[in-house]
Chain A
Amino acid sequence: MTVPTIMRQGRWTPWFYLLPALVIMFVFIVYPTFNTVYLSFLDKTSTRPASAACVPDEPCWGIFENYRYALTNPEMVIALRNNALWLLLMVPGTVIVGLLFAVLADKVPYESVAKSIIFMPMAISFIGAGIIWRFVYYIETGGGEQIGLLNAILVALGREPVAFLSNPAINNFALMVVGVWLWAGFCMTILSAALKGLPAEVLEAARVDGASEWQVFWKVMLPMIMPTIVVVTTTMVINILKIFDIVFVMTGGNYGTEVIANRMFKLIVTDTGRSMAIAVLLIVLTIPIMVFNVRRFRREEAAR
């Protein structure tokens, strides 16, 4: 995109347009980010270096003491494990469900209604979604009737009710289901648009050549929408790294469901230094995506 040379301008004109936005972004994003990095090297009082919290005879990473906590504290290890689990299972899960539905909905006449339904959770807050699903997972452990849908079904089938949210063997998966429910619509929308953008002739040609629908999907569609899948995946990775509200409202991070962002939130008052180190950890994890996005953007610009 080049500016028409004919539109001459004063030297300071661009800055008149840019300044408000740049100042706000500097004050609210850039400066705090670096300040957070700085705070992560201080202890909980934000007045002494982080090494002040070291206890003799205990391991200590000096000025990086808060990072020792962020990387080795048992709770943090659980949080890191869970975030990894979310990334490994939920990102593909959401993309696959979204893609599946995009492909299937494409073939039915009531496509727009069906897509609206899948997409609807995007309109409500994560907090609201958390409540909806707390109710679905609710377990009555005494003599009363099950009022949570899933446990009512289990009991009706003659099984024991399950504590979906407190049983460490399954609660992380129960939370991920909520995540898929929330985000599948997002993936579906973008992938569906990509599918519709595919040139009809190419698909037709493949079908004429005798390819089955299955083959058309794997051999033609999938490769062609791969760039979009990558975009959706990176976005989901960012979303999942920051996953917070769902865990906060459904389990509060108890029972081994802790995640990085919730840990950061819990410590924000009681131990700012550690909390900030966790925040830094979070941004470090997003930097690869950031670099990737910037590169992709540069490539797209160059191709323009």
Chain B
Amino acid sequence: MKPLTRLNRLLSRLPTHLAVVVMCIMWLIPTLGLFITSFRPREDVRTSGWWTVFLPREQVGQVEYETYCASCHGADGKALPQADLTNPDLIARYPRSNRLLAMLRKEINGRPHLVDPPLPENPRQAQEFLSPVLTYLQTISGGHVAGHRFTLRNYADALVGYKGTQDYLTDCQQGVSSTLAKFNCDASDLLNPEGMGRAFLNTVIVTVPSTILPILFAALAAYAFAWLDFKGRQWLFAILVGLQIVPLQMTLVPIARMYVRLGIADTFLGIWLFHTGFGLPYAIYLMRNFIGSLPREIFESAYLDGANHWTAFRRLALPLAAPAIASLGIFQFLWVWNDFLVAKIFLSTHPVLTVQVTNLIDPRGSNWHILTGAAFLSFIVPMIVFFAFQRYFVRGLLAGSVKG
């Protein structure tokens, strides 16, 4: 009886399981596609979907070759010594099927070419047959080697911000000078201003102080709101609640102009201050709720023991608020790391990751291989932080789910 009930229960739960699993897959697939694409060679990315990495590769053009050419040139292409189709120099003369077609239309040694079966008269249709044949010939002559299915070169390109002919590593090896003007082909390229490596560094420089500063000031203010008495405490805090949702768009231009006047436009200092200002209302709100909910007896007995407020703040409030600080830290860290608008406006000459990624969305297109790699580089740190400290992040969210 028992196994049957279990089966029954499983069956009745099946729709639930199905729904949960399907949703999870739907949520994962877009990111998975990006991830896989970032490891595929450019040509593959351009010509086939990322899911094809799970399918076997097909040999292009073999069928067409056997139909049109194998009767004279042989199955291996070597039957005619004067026209050895495995000779790369010969094949290199025909980079496109239209050149091949032009040659084939002429008579060779007084004999017309390609008569059995005849190539379609219409050049367009003829090219449709010849194009795969050419690809096949390029493959057997070794001029067109099918490379590995996965590569790390996209990441090299993204890190140094390379927009050259082939890829950064290959061009460096071959010394293609036309596209290497801004590169040294050594580790210093990681700091190239157009690369994700430099952007990564910039992001770290922006994020760390922008996370610590607001927490520091917020802790002080939160202590006052929680354990000090002053006139207007209630309404000042109410305003703070309101300030949390002031759209930052409201402040961009006045602050930008203020920075120009102060001479800190486009500096890290400017963006630290901005993030501090905008992080504060929420940080104070969260910390005050947390510090305020600590048992009052602890503070009373400390005070009886002769401690003053400064000691109470440093020795009691701060250590006890560690979980709140952790939540807030993660929250602010992710917020600043992922911010785009503020960095775009206040730090345009030191692009952070998000800004650099949008710079790499080459309006010219066809660089998904680099873009996916770059996007993934920008995810790594927040992903790690997120999964390592998910608990604190969730707690921070729950403590006050409003954020400007």
Contact = CB atoms under 8 A, between A and B. Distances in A.
A210 interface: no
B33 A135 contact: yes
B220 A24 contact: no
Given A7-B299, A232-B401, A235-B402, A135 B230 contact: no
Contacts of A146: 49
A226 interface: no
B24 A279 contact: no
Interface string B16-34: 1101110110011111011
5 contacts: A29-B251, A104-B20, A125-B340, A132-B33, A238-B402
Interface stretch (A55-63, A77-85, A114-122, A199-207): A114-122
Given A9-B229, A125-B337, A234-B402, 5 more contacts: A1-B292, A21-B280, A28-B274, A132-B31, A147-B47
Interface residues of A, number: 95
Interface in B80-127: none
Contact of A282 (B30, B250, B368, B382): B250
Interface residues of B, number: 101
Interface string A254-286: 000000010011001000100110011011001
Interface stretch (B53-61, B161-169, B174-182, B386-394): B386-394
Contacts of A134: 361
B75 interface: no
B63 interface: no
Interface stretch (B64-72, B183-191, B234-242, B318-326): B234-242
Interface stretch (B137-145, B149-157, B370-378): B370-378
A48 interface: no
Nearest to A1: B292
B48 A32 contact: no
Given A135-B368, A238-B245, A283-B246, A124 B252 contact: no
A242 interface: yes
Nearest to A275: B253
Contacts of B338: 124-128
Contacts of B220: 17-18, 20-21
Contacts of B246: 29, 33, 283, 286
A4 B340 contact: no
Interface string B209-241: 000000001101101111111100110001011
B164 to A, nearest CB: 22
A27 interface: yes
A104 B245 contact: no
A28 B27 contact: no
Contacts of A120: 27, 31, 383, 386
